[in-house]
Chain A
Amino acid sequence: MIKVDSVWYEYPSGTVALRNVNLIINRGEIVALMGENGAGKTTLLKHLNGLLKPTSGRVEVDGVDTRTTTVASLSRHVGLVFQNPDNMFFCTSVFEEVSYALTRFGYTGEEVRRRTEEVLKAFNLWHYRNSSPFTLSGGEKKRLAISIVLAWMPSYIVIDEPTTGLDGWGKRILIDLLLNLKDSGRGIILSSHDVEFISDIAERVVLLRRGEIIADGAAEDILTDPALLEEASLLTPQIPSLLYELKRRGLRDLNHKCLRLDEAVRCLSAILGRDGSNWRCDGV
């Protein structure tokens, strides 16, 4: 469990980025931290592996206070993927980039090779194994950055803006991988303002605004609440936005707390008929 307890953080410039943040993240769950640019998401993520220490309050990772240990030691348990992948690369080949951390964490030669190959193949990067990471496209770099962390299988995987630069195909691969990791008992923490991606994957959403948590709850409650999302300067995802509009225009029995396409088809078909042919609404 990661426990964030009454955390305040003030940057040396005097900017207060986190204000009394309280949060518990368990293994086996996917939690999305959401909010507009500058809400404090990245600052909070950097506290989870000890890169930043609270100005006041405390952060514990499986009972260990982040102020009492090193970032290197915490990183074994909490893998952090930065928003800009270029910040993570320094090796001359894609293969080395993934295997470097594994070697540092004490894995043996064959295990390093096996894990590196496995993760590069999962992200369709194996054919680039001898290329320089800096020659990859934006989306490929993002996939590589995530591969590096997944290779050592930390207990908690923290990804800052996972979908930046990813195309539809990259997002689908990532969703499958993250769901598998969750099922294997890992805690996944994502910071994102991509409401459509988060709708497809997260069960729990934490909304941040100006360094404060303004909501923490089930994704289907938070991501279907336009007023709350507006408060956090986020758009309502397309599906609940449509269902909300239909409800406003007279379909009062419609369940608007649907996030995913298959759920929406079920909800709408139940009321409208499979192709909308039962659509009757005197109020419109």
Chain B
Amino acid sequence: MSTAIEVSNLSFRYAGATQWALRNVTLSIEEGEFAVFTGATGCGKSTLFKCLIGLIPQMYPGEYLGRVVVKGLDPAQTPVSRMAQRVGMVFQNPDNQLFALTVENDVAFALENLGLERAEIERRITKAFRMMGIEDLRKRSPFELSGGQKQRVAIASILALEPEILILDEPTSSLDGATAKKLLEELGEISKREEITVLLSEHRLDLVVREATRLIVIEEGKILSDGDPREVVHHLLEDDYEKVELPKLPRLAWMMGLRRADKIPLTKEEFVETLLEVGK
């Protein structure tokens, strides 16, 4: 497995700000990982994502230290349009990404700008629509869709670019739990099937623990904890860390004294298994 993203000693301070938004972040993401970033609001998750696609420092002025390499490219030096062909980013509010009169035109827009042939555009649109299960929305206006449908269209428009890395900034924040869970499961499947590296930020960890191969907690611009989701959750429970909303099941296990680092249950099935083992 090769490295998709390498961040070395990255610090960034927005122009005019007194505080550093990122402080000496070092991070390596392997290809095919499903990495979940979490942390209190304003901790630097979105800033880090913007650095990975080059929006920082190219569009946001400020003090930039350290080095980032994404798929062999330096996002600070590579044109954002070129980065966007390798790394797709879905923003928190899908309304900011939708503008055309039909869903189809919205998804086709970036592809047309890449100068692709009509047949290739059609192939990519069809594939992206199928991946997100939105074939029936093709001729609809994006603005008459529900929040969940809009988010799917926004993701499809990025998937159509066939990125090697997909970054999603709080993609489920406006979705109901069932819709959010389904979307995250589908992203997990797409990540495996299409071998896309996925990075996403999320507050509701209970929705993503099944899919995540890695959990990274950021606090005040620094990486506080990084590793296997079970180990990170255990670590946060040990520290009684309150800035992140930990899922209730590991918290319940912890409160009941079931505290083994390798066994802290993240799902109800694991909780039952843990109890069965204790009862033996």
Contacts and interface: CB of A to CB of B under 8 A. Distances in A.
B148 A242 contact: no
B61 interface: no
- Grouping DSSP codes into helix (H, G, I), strand (E, B) and loop, the A interface class, with mixed when no group exceeds half, is loop
A264 interface: yes
Contact of A36 (B40, B93, B176): B176
A241 B42 contact: no
Contacts of B175: 37, 193
A35 B92 CA distance: 21
Contact of A274 (B40, B203, B257): B257
A26 interface: no
Contacts, number: 140
- Residue of A194, A238, A280 with highest tally of chain B CB at under 10 A: A238
A233 B174 contact: no
B1 interface: no
Interface string B186-214: 00000000000000000110100000000
B215 to A, nearest CB: 14
A279 B257 CA distance: 14
A239 B245 contact: no
Contacts of B148: 36-37
Contacts of B179: 36-37, 233
Given A137-B41, A139-B42, A195-B177, A238 B278 contact: no
A280 B269 CA distance: 17
Interface stretch (B3-11, B82-90, B127-135, B248-256): B248-256
A96 interface: no
B146 interface: yes
Contact of A261 (B40, B244, B248, B258): B248
Interface string A176-210: 00000000000000000111100000000000000
A274 B276 CA distance: 15
Interface in A102-126: none
Contact of B278 (A139, A164, A172, A276): A276
Contact of B170 (A138, A196, A237, A246): A138
A169 B39 CA distance: 10
Given A167-B245, A279-B278, A268 B256 contact: yes
Contact of A265 (B41, B255, B274, B279): B255
21 contacts: A36-B176, A165-B203, A166-B41, A169-B40, A169-B242, A169-B243, A170-B41, A193-B175, A194-B204, A238-B247, A238-B249, A239-B248, A245-B269, A245-B272, A261-B255, A265-B252, A268-B252, A272-B256, A276-B257, A279-B279, A280-B279
Given A169-B242, A172-B242, 13 more contacts: A38-B146, A138-B92, A167-B39, A169-B243, A194-B177, A233-B179, A239-B249, A249-B272, A275-B256, A275-B257, A276-B258, A277-B278, A277-B279
